[in-house]
Chain A
Amino acid sequence: MKAETTVLVRGAGVTGLVTAVTLAERGARVTLAESGSRVGSGASWMAGGMLAPWCEAESAPPEVTEHSTGSLSWWSRHVPDVVSNGSLVLAPPRDTAEISRFGRRTSHFKEIGSEEIATLEPDLAGRFSRALFFREEGHLDPRKALPALSERLISLGGRLLTDQAGVPAQSTFDRIVDCTGLRARENLTTLRGVRGEMILLRCRDVTLHRPVRLLHPRIPIYIVPRAHHLFMVGATMVESEHAGPMTLRSMSELLNAAWVLHPGFAEAEIVEMGTGLRPSYPDNMPLVTQDKQTVFVNGVYRHGYLLSPWLAEQVADIICG
């Protein structure tokens, strides 16, 4: 690579930020251009931020796990406050069959009983008799991690331009990397959006130390603890590209799950309700593709935080050699 390969990365969601930082670390001169007013103005902001390669194997193909086992360490090296407390999979008493199913599809967990559940999460003591504990997993808060990544980009000599202001012509760059999600549809025609809805709660009566997945045959839901007594409850999966507000049905399902996990959530404040569209290819797996000088990274579906480090390496191999 020549000393100063110049790269324009379009889109400052999780894929664009991780790619920009990775390219800058490999010696490229990176400009990151975002059409919104800040980093993470799309689906990345609404994500749970679970770094759960083994839990995801329940419904994702083995490649997702294979290419994401390093993600927790990648994030820990790049942003502060990444939590490595594992994750917990629970089911209400009448749905415990779902735990067996989840266990058959996944690995790297320990099956635990009520005593160990109480040790890990004292607030859940006496409420659940069976759980799967994925010790090697972790989580982060996307709303802290993404700004932290953009600072890192700048400290590496990169530039961040929001609102598309002052973006030099594409022809002035050696390479373009397009990480614009559904906005890239004109070029990537098989992309579709998968709607997800989430709620942010503030609850001082419940403390959790790790993400909890509550299994249910129809509506599996997770709750991720964040700083300042916040909890992210997500997320629906709807084959729809409607980006409008959350429906009452989805809200009831999400809130009900929180209540089932712990009745203390009944007193929680609802801080925010959000929706996002996950850019997805028909096999729900991401792709790095090339068209002349542009490299497209897209289709991360629900695995942006897990798979971005792996995808960014692919991009860096193409551009930096």
Chain B
Amino acid sequence: MLFYGTRLSSPLMLGTAQYPSPEILAAAVREAEAGVITVSLRREAAGQRAGQAFWSLIRELGVPVLPNTAGCHTVKEAVTTAHMAREVFETDWIKLEVIGESDTLQPDVFGLVEAARILSSEGFRVFPYTTEDLVVAERLLAAGCEVLMPWGAPIGSGKGLNNVFGLRALRAHFPGTPLVVDAGIGLPSHAAQALELGYDAVLINTAVAKAGNPVAMARAFRLAVEAGNLAYGADPMEARDMAAPSTPLLGRPMLG
């Protein structure tokens, strides 16, 4: 699947916040063999180029950068942050977050659609952080998005895929749109599950950054997305209620 015309080298997108040090972050990105890294742009850092030292470290990792608008609560903030991100990272990719509720950090889908429309019309390639709602997804595509990033669970909660039915429905409705599970993934098994559902990528930050050993966890996620991807491509068996013996019982000699 192409993300705005680009094939990612891996379905693992890795966030760059909250690591114990930039050095551990760099080692985790290498071990994860991440296809994309996301960077959040605090506006007070961006305004005066004060984050330059950290951003250089990010750029030196040599992985495509997807800046995000984390922490923005309004359309205007998100649009301004996107403009700064484009300047700092020289990319028109933007992961769009418009937060609607500060406890669950769940997206304000109305503001999201509005910001997506504005940014798409300005030539941005928008990666919207959304819920698994089908109608919102339709609106985002109509607003110009060509990628969708539904949540698995609230950001940083580590609860995995809370609404598997909803995520599966989204996949079925939008077979041609790249879909990424963003937020809520706590374990490699969650990431594998997303890939097994046919999702094109997963975005992980806290689960790696806050692990006791971020580098080992990065490797675990790399192996998990590889397993999930292979499994989806291999056309998994259907689950069923009855046992299905792998050897026919009929005609087997009765022993003992």
Contacts and interface: CB of A to CB of B under 8 A. Distances in A.
Q: Do A and B come from one complex?
A: yes
Interface of A: 59-61, 101, 104-105, 192-193, 195, 217-218, 238-244, 247, 249, 280, 282-285
Given A218-B156, A247-B44, A240 B20 contact: no
Contacts of A218: 156
A33 to B, nearest CB: 26
Interface stretch (B48-56, B106-114, B129-137, B228-236): B48-56
B20 A61 contact: yes
Nearest to A61: B20
Given A105-B212, A239-B54, A241-B53, A284 B44 contact: no
B97 to A, nearest CB: 14
A25 B65 CA distance: 51
Contact of A282 (B23, B51, B206): B23
A238 B212 contact: no
B220 to A, nearest CB: 17
A242 B57 CA distance: 17
Nearest to B53: A192
A282 B21 contact: yes
8 contacts: A59-B20, A61-B20, A239-B42, A240-B42, A241-B50, A280-B21, A282-B23, A283-B21
Contacts of A217: 156, 206
Given A217-B156, A244-B44, A282-B57, A239 B51 contact: yes
B24 interface: yes
Contacts of A244: 44, 48
B249 interface: no
Contacts, number: 61
B20 A284 contact: yes
B44 A60 contact: no
A285 B52 CA distance: 20
Given A217-B156, A283-B21, A242 B50 contact: yes
Contacts of B48: 242, 244
Q: Which of A60, A195, A241, A244 has the most CB atoms of chain B within a 10 A radius of its CB?
A: A241
A247 B46 CA distance: 13
A195 B52 CA distance: 13
Nearest to B22: A282
B58 to A, nearest CB: 9
B244 interface: no
Contacts of B250: none
A112 B26 CA distance: 37
Contacts of B50: 195, 240-243
A155 B53 CA distance: 41
B45 interface: yes
B156 A283 contact: no
A73 to B, nearest CB: 27
Contacts of A192: 22, 53-54, 57
Contacts of A284: 20-23
B68 to A, nearest CB: 14
Contacts of A240: 42, 44-45, 50-51, 54
Given A59-B20, A217-B156, A282-B22, A242 B54 contact: no
Contacts of B23: 282-284
Contacts of A101: 210
Contacts of A104: 212
Given A192-B22, A195-B45, A282-B57, 11 more contacts: A104-B212, A218-B156, A239-B54, A240-B50, A240-B54, A243-B50, A244-B44, A282-B23, A282-B26, A283-B21, A284-B20
Nearest to A243: B50
A186 to B, nearest CB: 14
A61 B52 CA distance: 25
Interface in B35-90: 42, 44-45, 47-48, 50-54, 57, 71
A238 B45 contact: yes
A60 B20 contact: yes
B252 to A, nearest CB: 51
Contacts of B71: 249
Contacts of A239: 42, 45, 51, 53-54
Contacts of B42: 238-240
Q: Which A-B residue pairs are the 6 nearest by beta carbons?
A: A240-B45, A242-B50, A192-B53, A239-B54, A284-B21, A283-B23
A65 to B, nearest CB: 13
A249 B48 CA distance: 18
Nearest to A245: B44
A254 B10 CA distance: 39
Contacts of B54: 192, 239-240
Contacts of B47: 242
Nearest to B21: A284
For B21, B42, B71, the residue with the greatest tally of chain A CB atoms inside 10 Å of its CB is B21
Nearest to B16: A239
Contacts of B20: 59-61, 284
Interface core residue of B42, B48, B210 (most chain A CB under 10 Å): B42
Contacts of A283: 21-24
Contacts of A285: 21
